Structure 1
């Protein structure tokens, strides 16, 4: 009998839905771990929050694995972008939020991420052979454009309140447009900073900052109003214009932005959610090819 050891034990083959759920959770955890992020929970501490910490972000992300798997399974089951899939995803998202809040004891850690990541996970499952970021975000947009008849008629979330108050585009509209902050800013900056030799962590930070330069982040608007949003956007632009997070001047500007966000008690959670989507899309095609395409 052949001896069993760590070198010859084969990993079990995962289903497509399991691969996608793993990618989604890994992206959320890697976003949380990324440091130093201005105003956000990271390895240094709780940022502008008083009710969040890194361990809670990890637990929240892990609690969402069954939700993302179920969303991918639903996409495989229905096989087309239509009302039944949209309403099933809405139901699964609401159920996943309840499960998440149970783990976090009522603290909203990843509500926005359930929406954004759930959409791209389902969109990827619909056609894993067309897994480019452009193809996946287009399918996600088509899903998001369909109304959910079971959704609450009056959204009382902080994001919805801010959108009504300031007339800005929120997470729903961002998805319906195909995630322009990701496709036009976050992903190109990630790839560009990598190509320039910035190093992976700095490239991810630059990607976050690129998203922050134009995003009407409702998390920041809710806590700090238009002045806080302007401070976030201009501060992020200053870091990138100074050479990004791999440069000495860029790091100084990043510290200034972090200080501003802490002073304002503003945390760009919307940008963080979109960074997680960026990381998911960046890894998607290679991961699917390695795990599914080898069958």
Structure 2
């Protein structure tokens, strides 16, 4: 793998995050429908701009994995250091995308380690990297780690250590929706709702507690059980869930980050083929 391919992986990851941002309506999440982005107070253009600030860090993660050549403790520590530096860069560009930094970072590193890995294989490689402790991580607890400790939720790092089960679920939902003839935006929304229906989202646990989390999970299941977002009944349920979450001020940001990870993994065959041709 070359530096050109490292850049291609980083670009694909940011593109996947941008695709996630462009989806609408996303219940409780910022999307192109309003520039105030309601819950987050960040307008949609700012979110897209700050997503671009992830590119150098993600390319550096791919390069570190390529250089190391194995899912070692040293690679895990280097990815942690790069990830924290990238979070700082993103904050200077407008902020946001904290969970996506880690989801996409582990998956980009896994793709660099195993260029032929796809889907579950990619998640399994990411799991091997995440299995090692980050020896250089700050000892002070973060909001996410505090919520994880209180409620036993996995969080972004826990998802990686488990082999990204919700990324795998989102990929399965994408393929199922596409095979049934759903348009691509609806397939992606169905994948998002699939994640929301079971994920112990630490952001939701922080803002809404366990009762609020269960409320959101039940709402997502209602949409899926009504036939998904491409069905009339499913669309009505989606509209109702969207209005409900925005009224309550609840935002399932963890689900959005994992959808971005699934969209990145889904795009890899095309990305790597294009990079090979360009080389």
TM-score of the superposed pair, with normalisation by structure 2: 0.95
Structure 1 residue 182: Cα displacement:
1.5
Q: 1:48 touches 1:262 (CA, 8 Å); kept in 2?
A: yes
Alpha-carbon distance in 2 for matches of 1:32, 1:294: 28
Alpha-carbon distance in 2 for matches of 1:41, 1:245: 18
Which residue does the alignment assign to 2:182?
198
Alpha-carbon distance in 2 for matches of 1:167, 1:291: 41
> In the alignment, is residue 277 of structure 1 matched against residue 261 of structure 2?
yes
Q: 2:170 touches 2:191 (CA, 8 Å); kept in 1?
A: yes
Structure 1 residue 172: Cα displacement:
1.4
1:252 to 218, 221, 236: 236
Q: 1:257–1:47: structure 2 CA closer, same or farther, 3 Å change rule?
A: farther
Q: Deviations over 1:53-86 (max 9, x none)?
A: 2111111110110000000011111111112111
SS of residue in 1 equivalent to 2:198: coil
Asked which structure has the greater CA Rg, the reply is 1
Alpha-carbon distance in 2 for matches of 1:126, 1:54: 33
Structure 1 residue 154: Cα displacement:
2.6
Alpha-carbon distance in 2 for matches of 1:204, 1:274: 12
Which residue does the alignment assign to 2:153?
168
Q: Which runs of 5+ in 1 are unaligned?
A: 1-12
The alignment covers a number of residue pairs equal to 277
> In the alignment, is residue 218 of structure 1 matched against residue 218 of structure 2?
no
Q: 1:50–1:210: structure 2 CA closer, same or farther, 3 Å change rule?
A: closer
1:64 to 51, 54, 65: 54
Alpha-carbon distance in 2 for matches of 1:258, 1:65: 30
User: What is the RMSD of the two structures over their aligned residues, measured on CA atoms?
Assistant: 1.5
SS of residue in 2 equivalent to 1:51: coil
Q: 1:235–1:48: structure 2 CA closer, same or farther, 3 Å change rule?
A: farther
Which residue does the alignment assign to 1:30?
19
Higher share of residues assigned helix = 2
Q: Which runs of 5+ in 2 are unaligned?
A: none
Q: Deviations over 1:213-268 (max 9, x none)?
A: 10001111111111211111000000010010001100110011112211221111
Which residue does the alignment assign to 2:118?
132
Which residue does the alignment assign to 1:152?
138
Q: 2:170 touches 2:192 (CA, 8 Å); kept in 1?
A: yes
SS of residue in 1 equivalent to 2:93: helix
> In the alignment, is residue 120 of structure 1 matched against residue 107 of structure 2?
yes
Answer 1 or 2: higher relative contact order, Cα 8 Å, separation at least 6: 2
Pick which of 270-279 and 161-170 moved more.
Answer: 161-170
Q: Deviations over 1:171-198 (max 9, x none)?
A: 2111101011111x21111111011111
Alpha-carbon distance in 2 for matches of 1:68, 1:202: 28
Q: Deviations over 1:137-184 (max 9, x none)?
A: 11101111101111011322x22121122222222111101011111x
Alpha-carbon distance in 2 for matches of 1:167, 1:28: 27
Structure 1 residue 14: Cα displacement:
7.6
List, as ranges, runs of 4+ consecutive aligned residues in structure 1 with deviation greater than 6 Å: none
TM-score of the superposed pair, with normalisation by structure 1: 0.90
